[in-house]
Amino acid sequence: MQHTNKLQRTQTRAHYRIRHDQEVIAAVVSAPQGTADPAALAARPIVTRLSGRVTSLSAGGCAIVFRQSVTRHVILRLPLEVPGAALLEVQVEIVSTAHISGGRFLVRSRFLGLSEDDRDRIARYVHHKQQQRATAPTSPKGIL
């Protein structure tokens, strides 16, 4: 079997994603289907709060791990820490949920009503983290 030497990797996402490690308390807001107006959602009351951990971040959204399942028909409000910027209060729409090991649930989400300035701050942070990772020295394997 011969391997190709012309392999091309394509990025199909609109935004690049990085690992992000942040504990959060997410506010759960009831959001009937078809409600897409972020201003109207901002006025809706909080139903409950859930503890979780943001595990990845992009300018388009984030992934959060919770210890309990979360229905897709809610909006989450959470504080997002982006170094070099003030704490961002973001609203996210759930794109998908998946049960993962240890009784945890992975929630993939996209930002709703995020200002262009805030989206740019996140994109710059993601780009900076990618550059750091690309230039980080690698340690030789097999050395203890």
Instruction: Label the pairing between strands 88-100 and 74-80.
Output: antiparallel
Nearest of 132, 140, 88 to residue 112 by alpha carbon: 88
Q: Tell me the C-alpha distance between 108 and 96, whole Å.
A: 5
Cβ–Cβ under 8 Å, residues 29 and 46: yes
Q: Along the 144 residues of the chain, how does pLDDT read in single tens digits?
A: 566 666 554 545 456 778 999 999 999 998 766 656 767 777 888 999 999 999 999 999 999 999 999 988 899 999 999 987 789 999 999 999 999 999 999 999 999 999 999 999 999 999 988 887 667 666 555 544
**Mapping DSSP to helix (H, G, I), strand (E, B) and coil, where does residue 32 land?**
coil
Whole-prediction pTM value? 0.79
Cβ–Cβ under 8 Å, residues 80 and 87: yes
**Mapping DSSP to helix (H, G, I), strand (E, B) and coil, where does residue 121 land?**
helix
